[in-house]
Structure 1
């Protein structure tokens, strides 16, 4: 593991910020990028580690807006609950910032535990946020008893999620229930200066986005208050999202949903989904991607009975980023924007996060010419070197 210094000088980095800045140098001071430009130097006499990247590509660290930090699932019984997330399992995926949430189980999983886990991962080196609530409405779990109050008084809480819609596991709420929680999140966000975002789990039901259109048709609650996720889980939902995004909303593609996986045969491959959305006229800035990492990936039969379960993997984010460039022929700057700047803007943490530049958090990844993840820095600390984790969580076995 490299020796810790306050200053680190990165030489000859081909920076995509996400826009292509060409080959340049930048200086890390603590957790921030202090300066960027050819010939940048550390203060005279200061101890400084120098890393020469020899023209390797530097990209912003991935921002994963949908992670089950304390595990998820349980639809098949207690033994199908997924375990808690480990630090190095995040960093080796290129993820430097993540937002945690509950899911189906808002009974044995608690927002308080989620908050504690987010704080633990931040102490270990990442940047973390959380959503209050779970699938069910109107009695979604909170810490203070109010979604609005959680957002206002809990530092890490940026919104509510994962609220289920068009899914047999939801609380089957009314349109008014959805409208109420959206209003609570919106006002909480306004008071606290946060996004007040609703991370909306979209299921396989036939209603699709109908309720979201109904909630926002009056214009009182903007479409940007919602982040409907799993939009690539089936073709009809995905294509319905085109109109939503063109009208000003976001569509979130799940990197962990792939048509090659059992139970997802009707899904749209994530990298392909991004290209198709752009070809359909969806603005690039309205497309985001998240992993559903560490959540359960249940498989149901035709009657809705669970018949299998997997675990979401954040590594799919890098896989789909690579495929956007190599298979779908998107420019690197566009592909990385979907995983970084767009997400940061939806979460209202841009430009602190989601870009590489002077004054920004020093969160970035280094990739090879053949699209292998080489190095990862989070908040100025190198977490991965030569593809291997070099910083581990408190209770992780050291490799």
Structure 2
């Protein structure tokens, strides 16, 4: 499936691409030097560039790489004991899944899983060409950090872009008060301001009826905006989905989880492509919607008394699959579905060099088939996966 023409120079000329940036731009060539896009246009002429790899996209869609705002890169799980712990994410999963940027988080287990392990694995992934960032904190308060505080984690460590995923409305969380949420949002904001980052407070939302209530109360009672919070799993059930629409119309971004299973769907989860379509029908701007994989997290099932029953694992390829099904099954256009998994999460995370195609951004590129299957992956101009024949 893969070609061996790649070099580590990051110099690439990709011809005859049907470019989605994520908006469709038509048939263009893309010139990449030292891992960054420098030009896009028709009939680009070059000479004298060392180690230049030239590929032909044959008119197939070429897009930014997918940006995953929630990936448990060191594995999640453990709700059913040690046998239910999920594995570390291998770098190869990114190439086959089309996910070129991941954001690592701890979840329920911040005892056996540590930020030191997560930072180390993020840097391993970076060495393999995956752009990897991490969150400080976990489901619980008091917040666990690497340097002793949220502000210094964000300010001192380039890889740390915020805090997450802090749990609300979930029996596994520590049930933070409105005051604690507002205080934490302020800490994230100050650390981000001092380090030139956007600052993200990723919020895991469980299935309790309280839903997003505490976030609205924090924004009402304190100088905190809804946009300071980034809640995920909003497609968990019908009532939460409707709360999410209100939250998004109030200025916040909402995230839908692409990974699910038959049990979760039967229990009320809304499939992420359907959630996107319903949000748009309800008048939510496409710019306020994102999709993430929750890859390598556990997808646990509990009975009515909260006892553990069984567990599945989140999949990194669920994002590309959601894009494909959004187009083929739900009738959404490719550009809109793509935006929820590229430009929008990059904006939510403050990664202005990711999730878009224009001069100056990182050359993370995907080649898609006409029926929206990922065929090829390029990260920072280096070919990681490419079909031997493009048809």
Q: TM-score normalized by structure 1?
A: 0.93
Larger CA deviation: 41-50 vs 356-365: 41-50
Please give the alpha-carbon distance, in whole angstroms, between the structure 1 residues aligned to 2:359 and 2:192: 27
Please give the alpha-carbon distance, in whole angstroms, between the structure 2 residues aligned to 1:387 and 1:328: 31
Q: Contact conserved, 1:232 with 1:257, CA < 8 A, in 2?
A: no
* Distance 1:213-1:3 versus aligned 2 partners, 3 A rule: closer
Please give the alpha-carbon distance, in whole angstroms, between the structure 1 residues aligned to 2:379 and 2:316: 16
Shift, 1:387, TM fit: 9.4
Please give the alpha-carbon distance, in whole angstroms, between the structure 2 residues aligned to 1:20 and 1:223: 31
Partner of residue 76, structure 1: 80
Query: For 2:223, what is the secondary structure of its paired residue?
Result: coil
Partner of residue 354, structure 2: 353
CA deviation map 1:169-225 (0-9, x unaligned): 011222212221111111111111112111100001110010000011246112121
Shift, 1:261, TM fit: 3.1
Q: Does 1:211 align with 2:214?
A: yes
Please give the alpha-carbon distance, in whole angstroms, between the structure 1 residues aligned to 2:294 and 2:127: 22
* Equivalent of residue 148 in structure 2, options 125, 145, 150: 145
User: Aligned runs of 1:22-37 on 2, under 5 Å?
Assistant: 22-37=26-41
* Equivalent of residue 342 in structure 1, options 330, 344, 365: 344
Partner of residue 303, structure 1: 305
Q: Contact conserved, 1:13 with 1:55, CA < 8 A, in 2?
A: yes
Partner of residue 396, structure 1: none
CA deviation map 1:350-387 (0-9, x unaligned): 2x111112211100101111222110111111112239
Query: For 1:217, what is the secondary structure of its paired residue?
Result: helix
CA deviation map 1:98-127 (0-9, x unaligned): 110100011111111111111110011011
User: Aligned runs of 1:1-399 on 2, under 5 Å?
Assistant: 1-4=4-7, 5-44=9-48, 46-137=50-141, 139-218=142-221, 220-257=223-260, 260-262=262-264, 265-350=267-352, 352-386=353-387
Please give the alpha-carbon distance, in whole angstroms, between the structure 2 residues aligned to 1:238 and 1:151: 31
* Distance 1:219-1:364 versus aligned 2 partners, 3 A rule: farther
* Distance 1:54-1:193 versus aligned 2 partners, 3 A rule: same
Shift, 1:148, TM fit: 1.3
Q: Contact conserved, 1:263 with 1:300, CA < 8 A, in 2?
A: no
User: Number of matched residues?
Assistant: 385
Query: For 1:267, what is the secondary structure of its paired residue?
Result: coil
Query: For 2:263, what is the secondary structure of its paired residue?
Result: coil
Q: Contact conserved, 2:10 with 2:382, CA < 8 A, in 1?
A: no
Q: Contact conserved, 1:13 with 1:57, CA < 8 A, in 2?
A: yes
Please give the alpha-carbon distance, in whole angstroms, between the structure 2 residues aligned to 1:238 and 1:265: 14
Shift, 1:257, TM fit: 2.9
Query: Where does structure 1 lack aligned partners over 5 or more consecutive residues?
Result: 389-399
Please give the alpha-carbon distance, in whole angstroms, between the structure 2 residues aligned to 1:252 and 1:344: 12
Please give the alpha-carbon distance, in whole angstroms, between the structure 2 residues aligned to 1:85 and 1:348: 23
Query: For 2:110, what is the secondary structure of its paired residue?
Result: coil
Pairwise CA RMSD of aligned residues?
Answer: 1.5
Please give the alpha-carbon distance, in whole angstroms, between the structure 1 residues aligned to 2:10 and 2:245: 46
CA deviation map 1:37-91 (0-9, x unaligned): 1111234364422111110100110000000000111111111111111011122
CA deviation map 1:118-152 (0-9, x unaligned): 11100110111110001011x12111111111111
* Distance 1:336-1:172 versus aligned 2 partners, 3 A rule: same
Please give the alpha-carbon distance, in whole angstroms, between the structure 1 residues aligned to 2:264 and 2:213: 27
Q: Contact conserved, 2:182 with 2:222, CA < 8 A, in 1?
A: no
Q: Contact conserved, 2:237 with 2:268, CA < 8 A, in 1?
A: yes
Please give the alpha-carbon distance, in whole angstroms, between the structure 2 residues aligned to 1:24 and 1:263: 40
Compare relative contact order (CA 8 Å, sep 6+) and give the higher one, 1 or 2: 2
* Distance 1:46-1:173 versus aligned 2 partners, 3 A rule: closer
Query: Where does structure 2 lack aligned partners over 5 or more consecutive residues?
Result: none
Q: TM-score normalized by structure 2?
A: 0.95
